[in-house]
Structure 1
């Protein structure tokens, strides 16, 4: 089995879950729909086929039996079984979203038997600075220093922007001037800081990340219900990508669905742009082959990477890897690992997560 580099994922929960807690983490929705269950979906079909047997159950077992078995084994043992079965060489872990305590990159890598690295979320860095009480006048310098410090830590391999969630991907192509950053930071801090949602500051963060030389990941496409999917089309990022191209820093378009063809076009025409399908792979289940084919209509094979975007449930890390292998085939799976090593030169061997 070709070991994969999962170039974007998250930690898993540190506790056992009841059915409601489990199903809540299978979906991008923030509440269940009455009378429905995610076990009755393409994702649920994949769970039965690929995860139930790993916990010693037949695919025909009931969801209740599966969840009882999870509790019987305990969340740590379940995590080890499923993460090991994913067959990963390395995991790049976004640590910027923790609605509850999740496993650290080192803990996730240990459970998977894989090297583990950190992806630093830009907005989390900025929001921490605001909490620390800095001034608008000092914000730009403090942010650059914080990114330089993060980039210099062992194990940091990339930065990530969630501008798509906050202001959309229509970022302007110009670097904000110092005066513009001071004015925008002043408005944000005067309002109490908190959740950053200012186009000027998101644009500033993205350019500042490029200045470190580390790859920059962008959330695109589907996400939680608070995202405006219309503004998450990666094509909206094209003006910014033109401006960013001169840096030569790799830009990674994550998830992309339902805009996978648009992302494939961008990966073809912009030398620094790469893409994956992320959580779309396990969400569409049996349709994963069709979605992958659409992405690869234009995307060069050498610019396509693998990620699961697995979050909270080790099942999602496993499903992403298993479904991807099924539809990609051995050659493309091997290529994605080679591509990841090229885009992230620090990833290799037995990294800091081991």
Structure 2
């Protein structure tokens, strides 16, 4: 199946880094989840993902498939033209950006809007980290935290939690007085240094406060699940740990989007999506970071049990615009291959496969986020 003509809704990605920041890092650092210098400077260049990607990037930029040649071509084109090339090649319709990843180093959402319609994903833990140092006591902090979410800020299409990174997905009930005590202890430990919130009781409490707001507005909440950089404990990243939240009736109408195919827990994620109406999945990061056979297997395992109305495309692109293109290229190609096999297996018909492809690549996201206002494209530049 050729799915190239289907425009994509990239329902989870990150801002591109400022050029002066990108210049400080080796090119290979964008192709690994590790931040260890030995991985970045040597081993990352020996992954299937990196080697395959050099050829694909070079073909698009019309240069040799060597890192030095690609870097020279990138320099000659400049970031704006590069972004235009990659976004057009990806055939993107809109992107939903989590701008909480390295917020001090990224280009603003307004920069990205020069190329494509953008909606914002609000990262909850970053919001808390910003408000805690500014708040004298827990009551003031909690009031400010909720007021920042209710109503959701203009342009925000979803909330997002990185509890998976900080304390794991086994979210448990926390009494307000317990959260307040942990807040007071945290405030005592602050020494005019950047705050990184890792306190499980506070994270669990604040996440559930945010879920109550999300329930009020039927706003999706995205969860990092599965693999990422070494900051997380992969053992705590299994989405099955979310059972407590999934069973609570007050969150029944909050769409929960399990990001990154929950890799390597694809079948567990698919099971959750098959039995809990509020659970949705995407397959960004696993695609394009895995080998071709690995990416194909991710989509295949997700669709073993997941209703096709529950699966969505994303790239989880970050840092450089290449990742938007690579995610789009392989997301389309391998979804098409898996659907072709499903036709051969008699799971679905050709017509059903075509409808499923459109649903996964764009329509499911449009339906899920339909409670938000229409994207205003009147301010988009016509120069790109």
Common topology (TM > 0.5): yes
For the structure 1 residues 23 and 254, does the alpha-carbon distance in structure 2 shift closer, same or farther, using more than 3 Å as the test?
A: same
Distance (Å, rounded) in 2 between the aligned partners of 1:106 and 1:20: 24
Query: What aligned pairs does 1:1-354 form with structure 2 within 5 A after superposition?
Result: 1-15=5-19, 17=22, 20-33=25-38, 36-57=42-63, 61-98=65-102, 100-111=104-115, 114-149=116-151, 151=152, 153-172=153-172, 174=173, 176-192=174-190, 194-212=195-213, 213=217, 214-243=219-248, 246-255=251-260, 256-287=262-293, 288-329=295-336, 331-336=355-360, 337-345=362-370, 346=372, 348-350=374-376, 354=380
Secondary structure (helix, strand or coil) at the match of 2:126 reads helix
For the structure 1 residues 50 and 289, does the alpha-carbon distance in structure 2 shift closer, same or farther, using more than 3 Å as the test?
A: same
Deviation track 1:300-321 (CA, whole Å, cap 9, x = no partner) reads 1100011111010111111111
Alignment root-mean-square deviation, CA: 2.2
Deviation track 1:30-65 (CA, whole Å, cap 9, x = no partner) reads 12337735343221233134221221125xx22211
Q: Which moved more, 1:221-230 or 1:200-209?
A: 200-209
TM-score, normalised relative to structure 1: 0.91
Distance (Å, rounded) in 2 between the aligned partners of 1:332 and 1:164: 30
Secondary structure (helix, strand or coil) at the match of 1:90 reads strand
Q: Which runs of 5+ in 2 are unaligned?
A: 337-353
TM-score, normalised relative to structure 2: 0.84
Distance (Å, rounded) in 2 between the aligned partners of 1:248 and 1:14: 38
Secondary structure (helix, strand or coil) at the match of 2:132 reads helix
Distance (Å, rounded) in 2 between the aligned partners of 1:352 and 1:244: 40
For the structure 1 residues 110 and 131, does the alpha-carbon distance in structure 2 shift closer, same or farther, using more than 3 Å as the test?
A: same
For the structure 1 residues 222 and 138, does the alpha-carbon distance in structure 2 shift closer, same or farther, using more than 3 Å as the test?
A: same
Q: Which runs of 5+ in 1 are unaligned?
A: none
Contact 1:140 1:178 in 2 (8 A): no
Runs (4+) off by over 3 Å: 16-20, 244-247, 330-333, 347-354
Q: Which moved more, 1:344-353 or 1:126-135?
A: 344-353
For the structure 1 residues 133 and 257, does the alpha-carbon distance in structure 2 shift closer, same or farther, using more than 3 Å as the test?
A: same
Contact 2:212 2:251 in 1 (8 A): no
Secondary structure (helix, strand or coil) at the match of 2:305 reads coil
For the structure 1 residues 233 and 325, does the alpha-carbon distance in structure 2 shift closer, same or farther, using more than 3 Å as the test?
A: same
- What does residue 341 of structure 2 align with? none
Contact 1:6 1:90 in 2 (8 A): yes
For the structure 1 residues 128 and 327, does the alpha-carbon distance in structure 2 shift closer, same or farther, using more than 3 Å as the test?
A: same
Distance (Å, rounded) in 1 between the aligned partners of 2:278 and 2:71: 43
- What does residue 348 of structure 2 align with? none
Contact 2:246 2:252 in 1 (8 A): no
Distance (Å, rounded) in 2 between the aligned partners of 1:130 and 1:325: 42
Structure 1 position 271, deviation (Å): 0.5
Aligned residues: 346
